[in-house]
Amino acid sequence: MLPLSSYCSPKMHRPLVGLKWAQTIDGQMADDQNRSKWISGNEELIYTHQTRSQYDGVCVGASTFLADLSKLTVRNIPIANDFTQPIRVIFDPRNRVDYEDKKLSNVLNESVRPSIIMQTRSSSYSKSSQLFVLNIKESLEKDLGMVRLHQCFENIFHRQLRALMIEGGAKTIALFLEKNLVDMAHISIAPMITGGKKNRIYLNKLLSDAYQFNFIRQFNKGADTVVELVRQQKEEYSER
Ligand SMILES: NC(=O)c1ccc[n+]([C@@H]2O[C@H](COP(=O)([O-])OP(=O)(O)OC[C@H]3O[C@@H](n4cnc5c(N)ncnc54)[C@H](OP(=O)(O)O)[C@@H]3O)[C@@H](O)[C@H]2O)c1
């Protein structure tokens, strides 16, 4: 993969955003009982950690964090002593992550890098745990209850978050696409079919207004196929 910086533009005024997920051939990111371990194999897991290492922050939705207690660290690959782990970002507009709950605070405090939780309650910062709660209440659009993510990102951007990877789940990925905040995608496809109605990206777009991507490269990791893509710029699809 090319260095991510080659896809960054100062005109964006926000971090570069890359999506990363693993799915079955038929597009399920977990089965209908919300089990996603493990869609992909060990070799693909190493690729996930290599990809994380290129980003400054790794973000998951609250449901994923609560289901998986995701560490979101780079591990399983060799890392230099001075390597800086990505910031953990949890998108939690309904304040479901109770960071004072002992089990969760243990997970949040177990690493030395900061965590940001995007919630709709007052902002706070705990120096000892490096936990930053970012109040996104004012950026909620009243009619839809959606987060105005551009504004939110601007806050984070001043914290030197130049590239943010969104690792799922499907609801969070759909929201970032809808907000037109996606620049790249790393998608792993496992050779299996589960069927199912949940845990797939629900957008209800027509082919004529689908989110379009340009192909960067494709390769195999064990039995899984990885596809890397870059989002087409608006001018590109208006030319067609
Ligand atoms: N295969 C993979 O690569 C992969 C990666 C990550 C996760 N997963 C799996 O995916 C499942 C969880 O995914 P998920 O899609 O249910 O949830 P999610 O994306 O992890 O979390 C969604 C969070 O964002 C909130 N949210 C989403 N859209 C919103 C909107 N428009 N307005 C306000 N709030 C919004 C949700 O609120 P509510 O809680 O109120 O809905 C929830 O707190 C888990 O089973 C996990 O294991 C798979």
| CATH code of the domain covering residue 231 | 3.40.430.10
Pocket test for ligand 1, best of 60, 63, 65, 172 (most atoms within 8 A of CB): 63
Q: Would you say residue 6 lies in a domain?
A: no
Distances (CA, A) of 31 to 25, 63, 188, 195: 12, 14, 16, 8
Q: Would you say residue 12 lies in a domain?
A: no
Helix H or strand E segment including 173: helix 170-178
Amino acid 148 reads: R
Residue 30 CB less than 6 A away from ligand 1: yes
Pocket test for ligand 1, best of 172, 189, 200, 201 (most atoms within 8 A of CB): 172
Residues 6+ apart with CB under 8 A from 123: 132, 133, 134, 135
Task: Please state, for a pLDDT cut of 90, what percent of the chain lies above it.
Answer: 54
User: pLDDT class for 220, splitting at 50, 70, 90?
Assistant: very high
Task: Give the residue from 227, 209, 229, 159 showing the smallest Cα distance to 14.
Answer: 159
Distance CA 171, CA 174 (A): 5
- The tally of domains found in the chain comes to 1
Q: Would you say residue 158 lies in a domain?
A: yes
Distances (CA, A) of 158 to 152, 154, 161: 11, 7, 7
Q: Would you say residue 95 lies in a domain?
A: yes
Structural domain range at position 36: 18-238
Nearest ligand 1 atom to alpha carbon 92: 43
Residue 119 CB less than 6 A away from ligand 1: no
Residue nearest to atom 13 of ligand 1 (CA): 169
Distance from residue 238's CA to the centre of ligand 1 (Å): 32
Stronger pLDDT, 147 or 72, i.e. the higher one: 72
Q: Would you say residue 101 lies in a domain?
A: yes
List 189's β-bridge partners, or say none. Answer: 23, 225
Length of the chain: 240
Give tens-digit pLDDT for 19-64: 999 999 999 999 999 999 999 999 999 999 999 999 988 999 999 9
pTM for the structure as a whole: 0.91
Nearest ligand 1 atom to alpha carbon 146: 32
